[in-house]
């Protein structure tokens, strides 16, 4: 009797979805490697990947604020002078206080809620000083709290604005953050 025929090898089942995913991953890797290589070559050619030294980085610094110094008479005469305003730009309301050299004025006396309140002033001896805007805690209260606005004196003058939603009379002043000298106060009614 002849030996029985060999059994056929089991058929291999193909999975077209798996084969498609493997092909996609392979193509994605190839494209990613090519794109990465091209980017690397482009950055080298353009010099974007060049190393910088400490001297290079300090040469590019642009923020420098010198300490204020007293102005001499000869230097003061070379400064430009601003022309005086011919008319007031709006009502000015100030409250007298001891003279600290800081004068504060407000262009408005009444504004709506969150209306712009323009604060300007002079501080002839405070060149470069940082002034913190403060508001009185309450209408009859003499305690002051920092308002989230500060301004720097330039040319003996300063100018900023504030906005508030607190209705009623609001009293503002500015205070020199170094010397704690305060300006006069101004009162603005917020409706």
Residue-range domain boundaries for the chain? 18-49, 90-190
Q: What digits encode the pLDDT tens for the residues 61-110?
A: 556 667 777 766 655 555 555 554 444 444 444 444 457 799 999 999 99
Give backbone dihedrals phi and psi of 170, rounded to 5 degrees, phi first.
-120, 125
Is the confidence at residue 44, as pLDDT, over 90?
A: no
pLDDT at 42: 80
User: Is the confidence at residue 183, as pLDDT, over 60?
Assistant: yes
Which of these, 158, 132, 160, lies nearest to 146 by C-alpha position? 132
162, 174 Cβ separation under 8 angstroms: no
- 68 compared with 20, residue with greater pLDDT: 20
Q: What global pTM score does this model have? A: 0.50
Nearest-angstrom CA–CA distance, 96 and 187: 12
Residues 13-40: what's their mean pLDDT?
88
Q: How confident is the model at residue 50 (pLDDT cuts 50, 70, 90)?
A: low
Q: pLDDT tens for residues 130-150?
A: 999 999 987 677 889 999 999
% of the chain surpassing 70 pLDDT: 72
Residue with tokens 């498609």: 20
> Which CATH class name applies to 90-190?
mainly beta
What band does 58 get if pLDDT is binned at 50, 70 and 90?
very low
Q: What confidence score (pLDDT) does residue 92 get?
A: 46
Strands across the sheet containing 186-190: 110-111, 186-190, 168-176, 130-136, 144-152
pLDDT category at 4 given cuts 50, 70, 90 is confident
Work out the average pLDDT over 33-57.
Answer: 71
* pLDDT score recorded for residue 116: 95
Cα 69 to Cα 63: distance, rounded to the nearest angstrom: 18
Mean pLDDT value across the chain: 80
Pairing of strands 168-176, 186-190: antiparallel
Distance CA 149, CA 172 (A): 11
């Amino acid at each position: 009797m002849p030996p029985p025929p060999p059994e056929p090898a089991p058929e291999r089942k193909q999975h077209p979805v798996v084969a498609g995913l493997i092909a996609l991953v392979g193509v994605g890797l190839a494209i990613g490697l090519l794109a990465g290589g091209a980017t690397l070559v482009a950055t080298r050619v353009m010099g974007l990947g060049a190393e910088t030294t400490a001297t290079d980085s300090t040469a590019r610094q642009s923020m420098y604020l010198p300490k204020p110094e007293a102005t001499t008479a000869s230097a003061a005469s070379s400064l430009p002078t601003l022309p005086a305003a011919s008319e007031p730009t709006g009502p000015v309301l100030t409250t007298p206080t001891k003279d600290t050299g800081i004068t504060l004025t407000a262009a408005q006396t009444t504004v709506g809620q969150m209306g712009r309140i323009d604060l300007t002033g002079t501080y002839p001896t405070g060149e470069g000083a940082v002034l913190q805007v403060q508001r009185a805690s309450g209408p009859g209260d003499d305690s002051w709290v920092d308002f989230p606005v500060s301004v720097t004196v330039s040319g003996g003058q300063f100018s900023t604005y504030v906005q508030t939603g607190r209705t009623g009379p609001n009293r503002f002043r500015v205070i020199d953050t170094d010397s704690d000298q305060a300006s006069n106060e101004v009162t603005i009614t917020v409706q």
